[in-house]
Structure 1
């Protein structure tokens, strides 16, 4: 059993192997009682009627298969469901076969084959809050007039995308819950990677030319390292959703990124004399995208069969994996120049997988995972045990949030934080909204051990989002001690959260506890003859070394005046810094009968 399988969680406690064995024994295909082939699994509202008929792949084609000639973006075409956020993530997934094998485990043994007895049962895996969750389904799919209603492949006897979508709908409670969603959530669900959303205009705000090139290089590097990338054009109103632009692109719609590259467009026939002599090469940055509708493409420069392709050599065409004959087909797959992409597209969601294996040749990152929660602990806002303080807008309670110290051992360190909140609505039709979350990082004193009680100016603040995750990348950090504060936007909002830390230097992130409160209550009796009595109070600490050390002292003066007095003493160290408080009651009598 692999490490993944040991930590695997089975949705609804359904065990694929046991259920399949039971179906084979009964000679009956599986019917999932947790996600039945009825309107209950389709709609949010009870009692809705429809003409939808649930059919197994064998009823739709005489030779059904999970995969036909492997996986490709055209295997995932969106149906009538408004779930391009999920479909485009699945399309992006086809470019990382290792991840696809994680999401669809043991695909060969799930395939229709004479070697395996058909049981009508399939399993898929999604990453949820630090663990892979296995979801079991039957293969009854929603159809109308003998055709699949939702996700499907352009190859009529290929069914992996339709079955994967059904498992995802089960995880979300019903198919209707897949209408509209966060691109980054879908990417994270199918990869377990670190999701980040880049707002193009915000990224290009300062120094657009250099920022354009940096964004292109960052995206290319991420894609080459197996990241899943989806791009979208935001719609400002409901009416703009799925509105087609003159350039062929669609607003309020997501596209999977299937290639990022730079090509040489120096056509030997058209080269100028100067460029031939000097050896100049003309470069063009391109990006390829896939529309999950399987149609409607960009019609500008570098679109299918445009004149720009005439300047590309056959060798370059082959390297790009392009067939000239396919450049005039409306299949939803198209190229466009980078400068046009950043002009039209507003958001880029990418999910990166950082290499944490020291044995590989690629760059290694150190990983640390922390689970905790924002909770009031049943106390009023701002109380010592309150751990749900809200963002910096709420100065009085901000420092009540969980706090984490980390040390940067040497300068120019890069650290990435991914904050993810738990989804309490898994499998439920009623979706509880996520709380709005974010992160702050502050530089603190190099010897700080305890919680911060007054906010310092943050060196970095993440975006705040009401989605499942937020991301913060700190580059070129200088040596020293830092404090990370994950927060909800408002105080008293409670949720479980997970922090994943990736760094190119080995660092240790640890929770910061409050100052330890020592409860010590003792009585002492002293006999003195003079009227003015002095007692020296010393506080010593055992620091696990050969010698203890005194951390504070105070001289108490007591008069024999037959009175009882309460003293509140602020203890300080030898430099006058406060280290704690002591309450003392002094009773001084000249008659021992009162003692």
Structure 2
């Protein structure tokens, strides 16, 4: 089996966007003694896109960070959740979660970059680009840091906008997809049913470094942005930054952060609520729950949770990756309902040769029906399914809902120990 870590697009071997090589571009700028201008993401309206909130007569000016603030710094101190304020909440929640895991944030935002040493107007976020930022009245138009002279979050947002096509493409995205893009992890959405079961899942996930976020589900488009009586915003994304218990474990609390940096939860167990009077100072110190106006609050009131599952560090997982496509009349056979064409779909063999020593659960195999299958067909960017199977040979069939639906896909297969797929 080939080494996935060396495959193009792997974390250790990222693809060069539009064939732009950071070191080559940087060397050219140093040699010519000029600041980089990105031809692939020009400082014009096309890179911003169509945003209803922007009026045609507004004078948007693209400036470099030092033109915005003479004391501009790439990072002030260290990357932190409070470095991200204002902007698209789903993206900010993902970035806020990312700052809680130093190994991940240092991968996405390589260290050692600054506006001082050998500055070329070029920064690297696995997507290289020029560093002019859109401003209105000399203030950043989109994401900005709490520190007025810190720019890493605004520059990372620009790199992501470049990858997606324009800033307008960042409106109304998915939290889990953003976390998946930044980390290469596996996105998973958990619907809240039993709070007790969810509590265990969240604690386990946080202990193994999983990125977690949540949002309050809006029942209709008109509800998006509405506040609950406790100042929670419907349809708004929050990052989960920690958990804790008080009163001898009888009360379980989640610590969430509003990426806007303001508008905190005001219900029971909020910063100024009387419930905290029953908790001694040592317990508060252990929980690191000191009152502050930074958008963080504690609550277990949620409707859905979207964590980015990065895997169990206790397990020995191996990954194999495959790229494929559905071509009409050739490899787009549709779902199982289309018995005459289903066999045309792309197929990948999986051989399980070693037991993972976990014997809970029983699975019955059938030669005529699938041993397992993912969720219903839906308009999601990705689907995920975890199964436990007896040793043997299996075939993964990638399909669309109907025949002749064209498209491309990327398949990742995780298996324990010496198992393989091809």
Q: Which category of TM-score, normalised to the shorter sequence, fits these structures?
A: 0.7 to 0.9
Decide whether aligned partners of structure 1 residues 264 and 19 sit closer, same or farther in structure 2, where only a CA change above 3 A counts.
same
| Residue pair 2:320, 2:420 contacting (<8 A) in 1 also | no
| Residue pair 1:443, 1:482 contacting (<8 A) in 2 also | no
| Residue pair 1:294, 1:332 contacting (<8 A) in 2 also | yes
CA distance in structure 2 between the partners assigned to 1:236 and 1:302 by the alignment: 26
Residue 43 (1) aligns with residue 71 (2): no
SS of residue in 1 equivalent to 2:183: coil
CA distance in structure 2 between the partners assigned to 1:9 and 1:304 by the alignment: 45
Residue 443 (1) aligns with residue 387 (2): no
Deviation at 1:233, TM superposition (A): 1.8
Identify the residue that residue 123 of structure 1 maps to in structure 2: 124
- Of residues 388, 395, 417, the one that matches 2:332 is 388
Identify the residue that residue 40 of structure 2 maps to in structure 1: 34
Residue 263 (1) aligns with residue 175 (2): no
- Of residues 13, 20, 23, the one that matches 2:26 is 20
Aligned residues: 409
Residue 251 (1) aligns with residue 234 (2): yes
CA distance in structure 2 between the partners assigned to 1:400 and 1:85 by the alignment: 38
Residue 221 (1) aligns with residue 204 (2): yes
Give 1:48-67 correspondences, 5 Å limit.
Answer: 50-67=58-75
Identify the residue that residue 79 of structure 2 maps to in structure 1: 71
| Residue pair 2:89, 2:237 contacting (<8 A) in 1 also | yes
Identify the residue that residue 315 of structure 2 maps to in structure 1: 364
Structure with greater contact order relative to length (CA < 8 Å, sep ≥ 6): 2
Residue 333 (1) aligns with residue 333 (2): no
Deviation at 1:98, TM superposition (A): 0.5
CA distance in structure 1 between the partners assigned to 2:359 and 2:280 by the alignment: 40
Residue 494 (1) aligns with residue 388 (2): no
Identify the residue that residue 386 of structure 2 maps to in structure 1: 473
SS of residue in 2 equivalent to 1:443: coil
| Residue pair 1:184, 1:195 contacting (<8 A) in 2 also | yes
Q: Which has the higher mean CA deviation after the structures are superposed, 395-404 or 363-372?
A: 395-404
SS of residue in 2 equivalent to 1:469: coil
The root-mean-square deviation of aligned C-alpha atoms, in Å, is 2.7
Identify the residue that residue 305 of structure 2 maps to in structure 1: 348
CA distance in structure 2 between the partners assigned to 1:459 and 1:185 by the alignment: 24
Deviation at 1:463, TM superposition (A): 4.2
Deviation at 1:192, TM superposition (A): 0.6
CA distance in structure 2 between the partners assigned to 1:348 and 1:282 by the alignment: 23
CA distance in structure 2 between the partners assigned to 1:264 and 1:88 by the alignment: 26
Query: Which has the greater radius of gyration?
Result: 1
Identify the residue that residue 111 of structure 1 maps to in structure 2: 114
CA distance in structure 1 between the partners assigned to 2:133 and 2:162 by the alignment: 12
Decide whether aligned partners of structure 1 residues 149 and 482 sit closer, same or farther in structure 2, where only a CA change above 3 A counts.
same
| Residue pair 1:413, 1:504 contacting (<8 A) in 2 also | no
Structure having the larger proportion of residues in strand: 1
| Residue pair 2:144, 2:154 contacting (<8 A) in 1 also | yes
CA distance in structure 2 between the partners assigned to 1:469 and 1:25 by the alignment: 43
TM-score norm. by structure 1 comes to: 0.64
Residue 98 (1) aligns with residue 103 (2): yes
| Residue pair 1:411, 1:479 contacting (<8 A) in 2 also | no
TM-score norm. by structure 2 comes to: 0.88
5+ long unaligned stretches in structure 2: none
Decide whether aligned partners of structure 1 residues 442 and 41 sit closer, same or farther in structure 2, where only a CA change above 3 A counts.
farther
Identify the residue that residue 271 of structure 2 maps to in structure 1: 304
5+ long unaligned stretches in structure 1: 126-134, 266-280, 356-361, 380-385, 416-440, 446-454, 511-595
| Residue pair 1:442, 1:482 contacting (<8 A) in 2 also | no
